Chain A
Amino acid sequence: MLEKALSGSKKYWTWIIFLLAVIVVGFFSYMRQYNYGLGLTGMSRDVSWGLYIAQFTFLVGVAAAAVMLVTPYYLHDFKRFGKMVILAEFLAIGAVIMCILFIFVDVGQPMRILNVLLYPQLHSVMFYDMCVLCGYLAINLIVGWTTLGAERKGVHYPNWVKPIIYLSIPWAFSIHTVTAFLYAGLPGRSFWMSAIMAARFLASAFAAGPSLLIILALIVRKVSKFDPDPDRNAIPSLVKIIRYAMIANVFFYLCEVFTAFYSNVPEEMASFKYIFVGIDGHATLVPWMWTAAFLAFLGIALLVFPTRKNPVLLPIALLSIYFANWIDKGVVLILAGFVPNSFDRVVDYIPTANEISIVLAVYAIGALIVTVLYKVAISVREEQQA
């Protein structure tokens, strides 16, 4: 089926070449980092994880979000998602590959990364994270490819896929839960050490992931003859999921804020102060966090009121929710966990240009994978319609 990605319009190839260019630039940046060391990033002894790990965290959520379509469609026979579910699975594939790449570019000795499997440490959450991520990638590749292949031949997908589809449902929850446990189990990082972390991760994932998916579906509708939502009822259903997930996410966040500030425990409050008002003049994250807060409420408002039916306002609402979650999880959460440091000092982190170009390249690889997979899916569907 992959050959279908090799023929496309001029616009398609321009987009592919653009992505390849970003990847090439990032590749050279990575070679520089590989030779010099992670000192080329903004990370330091005090803020020892930066944008890479933050993107990883955020994208695990995007990957997990496929379950919001898989569960209704396969488990509850909710037919409306029939055309979109393949887009969700293929998006998950791109997102998981980006996650793996972000881990890869973050480690100091990438050639040794398989030590995690060679010397498995059953007490380390990172071991489990590697297992669940690789498993989730395999599941989505198998399910996505087989179901689409069957559809192309005009037959029902084989029965052996069914158990794997069911397995993908708890597996999706597990990837984001385990990712939350990476942080929530660390003593001395009070911003992360919270029981609601995993729940909040899932809520924000189920808001951000499907938001991106709808945006992509709208693009697919625009650039191809295949309409992922021909009856105009799948997207409104997904919007409901996004709305409640985002409300739950904001609620969970406010629970964290209440616990920190009503208890008045200095350690609990410190990181929140750092991200909302700054500490001792250190306020690099403050504008980001207020932007995220504004976008979160804007997005919820636009989806609660009938504005959600407006074709112009809907994408704005979805982008607001997507970026609110991206700032919260893909920028602020990881950085603020390190502030103040173990000595109650504030050390800021500013990513370098080299680091940002690597981040962009990983996103471009993800976009390339999703583009190619979507191209295949679209071509198969267009054939069916013809």
Chain B
Amino acid sequence: MSINRRQFLKRAGVVTALGLGSSFATIGIGDRLASAASEYEEAPNADKIKHWAMVVDMSKFKTEEDINRVIQSCDKIHNIPQMDSSKDEIKWIWYDDYEHTFADSENEYLDETMKKMPFIVMCNHCENPACVRACPTGATFKREDGIVTMDFHRCIGCRFCMGACPFGARSFNFRDPRPFIKDFNPNFPTRTQGVVEKCLGCYERLEKGEQPACAEASNGGLIFGDLSDQNSEVYKIVSTKFTIRRKTQFGTQPNVYYLVGGGDHA
């Protein structure tokens, strides 16, 4: 059988396309996903929790020490670097004054003490997170229990999420963070240059049935629980007390509630 050049090229092309296509179909999707999934097990209480939320009881934060203790508890276990310049700062949990935290609730008659009152701030683990919508790779995603978390290995560092977040909760590793970690915790991953990061809701503690580090260190100032459970403390506070949230007008449904002037809460 003799074929001319044109026919040969045509047939060679078809064979190559078939070969490539079938190899994608076999190695590309089915097997790899299945084997990857079998390596992981679900956390014991993963299916029970539906809606993690946090209440910040402002009456429990009387001194600067109360706040710093909470912040340091997080910084320490999560390998948060202490950068030299504010430009490169990495923040998971920190504080700002009332005037700036609730900038949209301006009240010119408020006295200086009230204006400067410190509020703990962190990622709000929103119900409709703008960062998740913006992320082009799925590196930022929402778990079924409501925690907005990140895959640092998938993040390309485009910082679209930082533009999208209305709360300023996200930081970018403008340089290698590792030399700036004071007390290194080998049980929690450090991050690399060029990726975004933020509070991950202490997923590593939640899966062991523990409270987030900040809540544990807060002496009851930060109340963490399941908002879908009507017997939970967070539900009781949020449903019966007067609480405020940051920037609700954007419809992201932030899950950090501030109980202001609430006194004893439950």
Which A residues are closer than 8 A to B by beta carbons? Answer: 36-39, 41, 43-46, 48-49, 103, 106-110, 112-113, 115-116, 118-119, 121, 123-127, 130, 182-183, 186-189, 266-267, 337-338, 340-345
Contact = CB atoms under 8 A, between A and B. Distances in A.
B134 interface: yes
B193 A116 contact: no
B136 A124 contact: yes
Interface in B141-169: 154-160, 162-168
B100 A127 contact: no
Contact of B174 (A37, A127, A187): A37
Interface stretch (B42-50, B83-91, B212-220, B255-263): B83-91
B28 to A, nearest CB: 11
B17 interface: no
B163 A121 contact: no
Given A107-B156, A267-B104, A126 B164 contact: no
B156 A109 contact: yes
B88 A44 contact: yes
A108 B175 contact: no
A121 B173 contact: no
Contacts of A41: 174
Contact of A127 (B130, B136, B154, B173): B136
Smallest CB-CB A-B distances: 5 pairs: A108-B157, A108-B194, A188-B166, A342-B168, A344-B103
Contacts of B192: 109
A159 B166 CA distance: 51
By size class, the interface of chain B is: 35 or more
B130 A186 contact: yes
A49 B103 contact: no
B88 A125 contact: no
A109 B195 CA distance: 7
B251 A44 contact: no
8 contacts: A41-B174, A44-B87, A109-B156, A130-B136, A186-B134, A187-B251, A342-B166, A342-B168
Interface centre among A46, A123, A188 (most CB of B within 10 A): A188
Interface in B91-106: 91, 96, 99-101, 103-104, 106
Contacts of B168: 45-46, 341-343
A186 B164 contact: yes
Given A109-B194, A189-B163, A44 B86 contact: yes
A39 B173 CA distance: 8
Contacts of B176: 37
Nearest to A41: B174
B136 A121 contact: yes
A108 B250 contact: no
Given A39-B87, A116-B156, A119-B154, A125 B130 contact: no
B164 A115 contact: no
A338 B100 CA distance: 15
Most chain-A Cβ atoms within 10 A of its Cβ — which of B86, B139, B164? B164
A258 B138 CA distance: 38
A38 B194 CA distance: 7
B135 interface: yes
Interface centre among B154, B160, B173 (most CB of A within 10 A): B160
Given A37-B193, A48-B163, A109 B133 contact: no
Nearest to A114: B156
Contacts of A124: 133-136, 160
Nearest to B152: A109
